[in-house]
Amino acid sequence: MSRFGLPRRLLLGAALAPVAAQAAGTVGGGPAPEVSAFAEHRLALQLSEREPHRQDLVLSVANNVLKAYGPDKVAIEVVAFGPGIDLLRAESPRRSAVDSLVSQGVRFDLCLNTVETIARETGQRPALNPHAIPVEAGVVQLMTLAEAGYILVRP
């Protein structure tokens, strides 16, 4: 028994619950990303706007951070939701830039809530870049990443 009158196992379980939840992912987000053992920096980029200059800015920031630290020293995750998912459409004019970043280890998360809203409103799901990683909710994914030590930037 602890000094609080509770079994030690109960206290230990309560203390470790947040760690277990983070390891398993959280409701609405994707699983906590697997990060290279060598990644010293973690960056989450929010993309929630469809304007081409915003998409270009997110891609530029990801490229510049990769150049500064090297792909083995940084984990970068772009989380697209709302109008921001236009970057991850199959016919996006920036698809080659996205694919190039993916080949360097950058992850692109796609909000399924947004996809379902589009499907409801238009009667069909949009064609998407196959490299996009679906997550249930983009904002929840950003929260999960922040809790896992990622720095959130909204360029």
Q: What is the mean pLDDT of residues 5-13?
A: 46
Higher pLDDT: 10 or 145? It is 145
Tell me the three state secondary structure of residue 155.
coil
Indicate whether 3 belongs to any domain.
Answer: no
Label residue 151 left, alpha or beta by phi (over 0 means left) and psi (-120 to 50 means alpha).
beta
CATH number for the domain spanning 17: value is 3.40.1260.10
The domain in which residue 135 lies consists of 8-153
What is the number of structural domains in the chain? Answer: 1
Indicate whether 1 belongs to any domain.
Answer: no
pTM for the complete prediction? Answer: 0.78
Q: What is the tens place of the pLDDT at every residue in 53-97?
A: 999 999 999 999 999 999 999 999 999 999 999 999 999 999 999
pLDDT of residue 24: 40
